[in-house]
Structure 1
Amino acid sequence: MTASRNPFSERVGAILLAGCGLSMLAGFLGAVFWGDSPNVTNNASTSYSTSALGHAAFVELLERTGFPVVRSRFRSAERAWSGLLVVLEPTDDDRFDELVSDPELPSALIVLPKWEVVRDHPLDDRWIAEAGLRPTMEVESVARTIDASCSVVRIDGSGSNWSSDGVGESIPPSVSDLQLLTGGVDPWIDCDEGVLLGEVREGLWILSDPDVLTNHGIARGDNASLVLSIFEELTSWASIVIDETVHGFEFVPSVWTELRRFPFVLVMLHVMGLVVAALWCGLYRFGPPVPTASGVAAGKSVLIDNAAQLLLFGGHSGHLVRRYWSQARRRVREAYHLPREIADDELADTFRRIGRERTDYDAVERRVARATADRGIDGSELLAAARAVSAWREEMLDGSR
């Protein structure tokens, strides 16, 4: 493994740090101000919609009154097993067919469709500019998915001789172009012209006109009181699950789907960034590992090196060079059979005379004196002096043979 080094320059490190900081700030602000609301805003007849045809006001009315309400985007029938499942203005498609044909369908209220958006609002796609009545045959198709004997009629006016089976007594609906059912249902709220709320079979009801629930109609007349009376009777204040899968908003929660949504997508991006950074750092660490040096290696050279380092660190190298110079002169004196008692000055003159043609005794003497005069001298100077002594000794000894 190569020596460790920082794979990032200061500039790259600063950019990465700034990016992480901004991402964390964006995640915090998004969680606070954006929240976890799904992206289901539109102008259709859904419980999320705030358009004239939507039912957001109906949901808010139930919640403020104290009904436990849940908007469901997955397994709605299963989640409503102990309460009431509400399906708002479905269309005749496979999703609705699958829902009503579920053998485990709990108590449910199906609200028939009535209006369709003709033109969107030019300033905001959550609003509508124009709406029109759906063809009665299209509404009948939805009703007959539940009961084949149902028919749909529309009347001018508000209907006559309203009666109820203990639901919303004396509260006639305030609706224009009133849409009613005939045939095949047990009437709970009806008039001479047809049925507004009827029971198809035990635990399954149909509300023929959605205008008593829509944002534009729930505040008209006594519609709000009528709605509360209906749901109090149908639920006994149990939970209300509003299905949104029939509007194409199916969303099965899981770890992987949540990681693709804000702000959790930032967590995934951070993890991916960490993986990239780890791989980047690993580019400088490929190859076989470098063997770890042992504490003390074997051999004389290691001991000599350690001793030399200790002497150099302690400032005793000059003493060794002087000692080496003294021993070299003694070795040369013995080689030339000079008397041991000879004086230093006379010995120096003799060495000068003998080595006049080959060496410079005085130059070596000066180098040794200069190298050993200061304890703080550089180690290279001491080594050069020792080499000069060695060269002088070799020249003198070679000449003595």
Structure 2
Amino acid sequence: MSGEAQAAPFRSRTVIIIIVVAAIAFAGFLLLIAFAPQFQSGHDGRGHALSTSGNGYAGLVELTDDLGSHSLIVRDDAQLGTRDLLVVTPEIDTEQKDFTKLLASRGDAPTLVILPKWWTRPMPERPDWAQRVDMMWSGGPVFALSKYAPKMTIDQTPFKARPPRTGDTPRLARVKVGPLNEQQRLTGGGFTPVLLDKDGRVLIGKLVGRPVFVLADPDLLNNQGIADPWTARQGWQVIDDLAPTNEIAFDLTLNGFGTSKQEKSPLQSVFKPPFLPMTLIIVAAGLLAGLHGAVRFGAPAVTARAIAMGKRTLVDNAAMLFRAARKEHRVGAAYAALTRDLTAQATHAPARLSGEALDDYLNRSGKAEGDPPYATLAWQAETAEDRDQLLSAARALYRWRRNRTR
């Protein structure tokens, strides 16, 4: 075989690079599966704290940090119990049970719920931007709150309900929400007015008996609203008045970015304490095993034939067949005849002798040595009934032949 045919198809360096790249890619794949929600950018054109579209609130998060406060992005249900102000941005498809669970975990901590307002769709050329379609139907934004404020409704422009009387609260603050003509306000009952617009309609209401504040028009705090400096100033004043601490938390669990204990991938446990050290040990053991297999110690062993060649192999195979059939004692007569022929050849017995004549000749030759007659030994070998008797007779025949031929 030529040297070219025996050469390896790949260089060692190429094989090592392929293995390393494959290992890194597989580890990255496992990390993506385990921590997929944490790796999502959130630039999807929806209304939440990661969205950079007009109806998102990434601008409010950035404004919070720029003004000296600290923003906290809440992805884990365990963080919902914070005592800081929690900004919640439910969407039109938010389940009421999820919203109820969130408020139950808040206790007496303040919560600001910003109701949705716009139907949007991502722009084809910029998926992180949203294209406004229309305002939502009036019953949609308050669906998640129906358990806590069943009488609360939404009034949208052109407004149909009259502004509530505020004579008992003459100092109630008032604001103006941006230049847009499409606006929405709170009406009905189940809440106490906290902030009014310039016409006296309720922009923010506090649920009765709960520290939950509901902002009817999201354009006061979303990216579209705080793009206007005047609106941003008014919106931040609202946040600053409601926040008991210098930290503002923004919920993402209602927007599909949460990782509750029941929903966590089992793979996350592999990459976190207390199982992380065991994972590192397994990886190190795998690297050592790979290094051991990649480096050869000594010359490669030559592969032996499955079936050896030669007379000895033929005899060994025949012996194994007799042993497997438990018929070893049946070969006594053949061994006695072989012993007789080998002895006659070694002692130069007359060639004309055969059969009983040869046996008589061998018997007479052994009398002088005091050995048993050959015929007696041959008879013992022929009549052996088991392996032990055959072995004893064969040893006697071997001693008899050795005495004749030495």
Matched, 1:194 2:191: no
Q: 1:227 to 1:258 in 2, by over 3 A?
A: farther
Counterpart-to-counterpart distance in 1, 2:101 and 2:77: 11
What is the letter of the counterpart of residue 286 of structure 2?
A: V
Letter in 1 for 2:268: T
Q: CA–CA distance in 2 between the matches of 1:224 and 1:213?
A: 7
Tell me how far 1:41 sits from its aligned partner: 2.5
Gap change, CA 1:18 and 1:141, over 3 Å in 2 = closer
Matched, 1:173 2:177: yes
Task: Give TM-score scaled by structure 2 length.
Answer: 0.54
Deviation at 1:199, TM superposition (A): 1.1
Which residues of 2 match residues 204-219 of structure 1 at below 5 A?
204-219=212-227
- The CA deviation at 1:203 is 1.9
1:88 aligned partner: 89
Give the 3 Å change call, closer, same or farther, for CA 165–213 of structure 1 in structure 2: farther
> TM-score if structure 1 supplies the norm length?
0.54
Cα contact 1:173–1:222 (8 A) shared by 2: no
| Unmatched runs of 5 consecutive residues or more in structure 1 | 1-7, 29-35, 262-267, 286-401
Residues 311-350 of structure 1: matches in 2 within 5 Å?
A: none
Identity %: 22
Residues 221 and 10 of structure 1: CA distance in aligned 2, closer, same or farther (over 3 Å): closer
Matches of 2:249 and 2:170, distance apart in 1: 24
For residues 127-146 of structure 1, what are the structure 2 equivalents within 5 Å? 127-146=129-148
Shift of 1:120: 2.5
Larger radius of gyration: 1
Do 1:112 and 1:210's aligned partners in 2 also have CA atoms closer than 8 Å? Answer: yes
Match of 1:44 in 2: 46
**Cα distance in 1 between the residues matched to 2:39 and 2:60:** 18
CA distance in 1 between counterparts of 2:78 and 2:141 reads 23
1:43–1:259 CA distance, 2 compared to 1 (3 A): farther
Pairing 1:56–2:58 present: yes
CA–CA separation in structure 2 for the residues paired with 1:63 and 1:156? 37
Q: Which residue of 2 aligns with 1:97?
A: 100
- Structure 2 residues without counterparts, runs of 5 or longer: 1-7, 29-37, 273-278, 297-406
Amino acid corresponding to residue 53 of structure 1 in structure 2: N
Counterpart mapping for 1:1-400 below 5 A: 11-12=11-12, 14-17=14-17, 20=20, 38-75=40-77, 78-80=80-82, 82-91=83-92, 92-93=94-95, 94-102=97-105, 104=107, 106-117=109-120, 119-156=121-158, 169=173, 171-174=175-178, 175-182=180-187, 183-191=189-197, 192=199, 194-200=201-207, 201-220=209-228, 222-251=230-259, 256-257=267-268, 275=286, 278=289, 281=292
Distance in 2 of aligned mates of 1:165 and 1:47? 34
Mapped to 2, the partners of 1:52 and 1:144 lie a distance apart of 27
Q: Which runs of 4+ in 1 moved over 6 A?
A: 21-25, 159-167, 258-261, 268-271, 282-285
Contact 1:90 1:96 in 2 (8 A): no
Distance (whole Å) between structure 1 residues aligned to residue 146 and residue 118 of structure 2: 18
